[in-house]
Structure 1
């Protein structure tokens, strides 16, 4: 059993995400921390999405994709549903939404190129996830 967790110094679990992190505001990247990954972890991955978008746009909206091979100095960013690489903050079209940050500890290094898709990340992680953690926050325009 792992004590792996994901936290953010900018908001607490289940709390309101400050406006400066909103896509239509400053779109500032929140300070996410991966805590106590298993000792066999070689890569940390992050997926941030908005399942509440299903009602408004007919799909779970993808806001952030990244992975960080621990042997490398910086993370590699994927492409969001804004058709942009990197963080795309909350932007609910119809009131308050809950955003889910999912963290994965992997036992393998990934070799995806910048701009990778969620499907490519999920395929690359298959069979290599040794721990998962989740953080949620809400946002209203």
Structure 2
């Protein structure tokens, strides 16, 4: 029996959350609504490089940031967490390409990765099933009202991205796409 991978497009998951102010998120590598370059995907051994990200215009009372990448179009009801970066200091407004390496060498002091749905603590790029619909990858930066959420490195990304709701001052979103 063949499996039909075509599904209705999930809503923008962030539109379902309580409204907060927006701020700017840009990238030298990702453009909203455009395909993600292959180097930022998990489709070959020489890939999985997290994209460069920069943000500005967040509230002055911001004490830290949480950065994530989420695919709401992944097969199954819960989407797929590709990256969650915790406790980014408020003084950091740029992550260079490759900052999401699992070894943590590109991270700002005090920041750490959670394990994503692949079980990897670090960035894991786009890799929708071959032949599946176009997937959207939501790169999101939350400006937080606390210096740390106080979560451990073994916290599940879904739990962290729920806890963040109680401390989000503003949110910036950039959405790339990918299909194989």
TM over 0.5: yes
Residue in 2 aligned with 1:42? 63
Q: Distance in 1 between matches of 2:114 and 2:174?
A: 19
Over 4 Å off, 4+ runs: none
Q: TM-score, length-normalised on structure 1? A: 0.86
3-state SS of paired residue (2:166): coil
Structure 2 unaligned residues grouped into runs of 5+: 1-19, 92-107
How far does the alpha carbon of each residue in 1:42-75 deviate from its partner, in whole angstroms, 9 at most, with x for none? 111112111111xx23430110101213376252
| Superposed CA RMSD | 2.1
Q: TM-score, length-normalised on structure 2? A: 0.69
Q: CA deviation at 1:122?
A: 3.1
Q: Distance in 2 between matches of 1:58 and 1:131?
A: 27
Q: Distance in 2 between matches of 1:105 and 1:41?
A: 6
Q: CA deviation at 1:35?
A: 1.7
3-state SS of paired residue (1:113): coil
Q: Is the 8 A contact 2:22 2:172 kept in 1?
A: no
| Length, aligned pairs only | 139
Pick closer, same or farther for the CA change 1:45–1:78 going to 2, 3 Å.
Answer: same
Q: Larger Rg: 1 or 2?
A: 2
Residue in 2 aligned with 1:75? 111
3-state SS of paired residue (1:17): coil
Q: CA deviation at 1:127?
A: 2.6
Q: Distance in 2 between matches of 1:66 and 1:23?
A: 18
How far does the alpha carbon of each residue in 1:77-126 deviate from its partner, in whole angstroms, 9 at most, with x for none? 11100011010100001242111112110010113233432243235424
Q: CA deviation at 1:3?
A: 5.7
Residue in 2 aligned with 1:16? 35
Matched, 1:136 2:180: no
Q: Distance in 1 between matches of 2:65 and 2:127?
A: 26
